[in-house]
Amino acid sequence: MEGRLRKLLVDPGIAVSANGAPSSRPDLFEFVVSLSEKHRAERALSLIDQEVARLQKSPISDKDFQRALNQEKLDMYGSIGSNSSLANMLGEYLVLSGDYLLGFKMLSAFEKLTPADLQKAAKQHLNKKQRTVVVIRPAKRGGKKS
């Protein structure tokens, strides 16, 4: 998929994969990047910071918004294609919120969002004060970190 992170990090050869999404821990939003050889985590982090700043500064285009909305739909429709995955989704929302239909309600709510809402959320939640950065580096021979 051609998300912004991919264009920013994978296409130029800095990373082999890059994605950002809410994690299974509902209070976290995670960016995960696997770097290509000889590329530094600091460079990737700086590019992600620039991209987040861009999201906070100006709203995404209507086209990008439509893209995101339809991809959410595809994701949900695709994930309820079998009885077990449908039951899984209903059960998960029931346990988390008491409303087994919340997933569908969220999808309807997405349709009422605007690019400005996303900009506001980016400003509110994606700030450096409340983030943790974890870097895993390969050890050099002899056990020293590179």
- Report, in Å, the least distance between residue 89 CB and other proteins: 13
Q: Which of 66, 88, 114, 127 binds other proteins (CB under 8 A)?
A: 66
- Segment interacting with other proteins, rule: CB under 8 A, options 7-15, 44-52, 92-100, 125-133: 7-15
Is residue 83 close enough to count as binding other proteins by CB under 8 A?
A: yes
Residues in 121-140 that interact with other proteins by CB under 8 A: 138-139
- The nearer residue to other proteins, 28 or 135, going by C-beta atoms, is 135
Q: Which residues contact 60 (CB under 8 A, 6 or more apart)?
A: 68, 115, 118, 119
Among 25, 26, 27, 37, binds other proteins (CB under 8 A): 37
What's the rounded Cα separation, in Å, for the pair 122 and 60? Answer: 11
Contacts of 91 (CB under 8 A, 6+ apart): 100
Which tokens sit at 15?
């990373």
Q: Which of 58, 78, 95, 108 binds other proteins (CB under 8 A)?
A: 78
* Nearest-approach distance from CB 129 to other proteins, in angstroms: 32
The answer to whether 108 contacts other proteins (rule: CB under 8 A) is no
Cβ partners under 8 Å of residue 137, min gap 6: 41, 145, 146
Min dist. Cβ of residue 36 to other proteins (A): 4
> Which of these ranges, 46-54, 59-67, 116-124, 127-135, lies near other proteins under the rule CB under 8 A?
59-67
End-to-end Cα spacing for the chain: 32
Of 31, 37, 28, 38, the C-alpha closest to 8 is 31
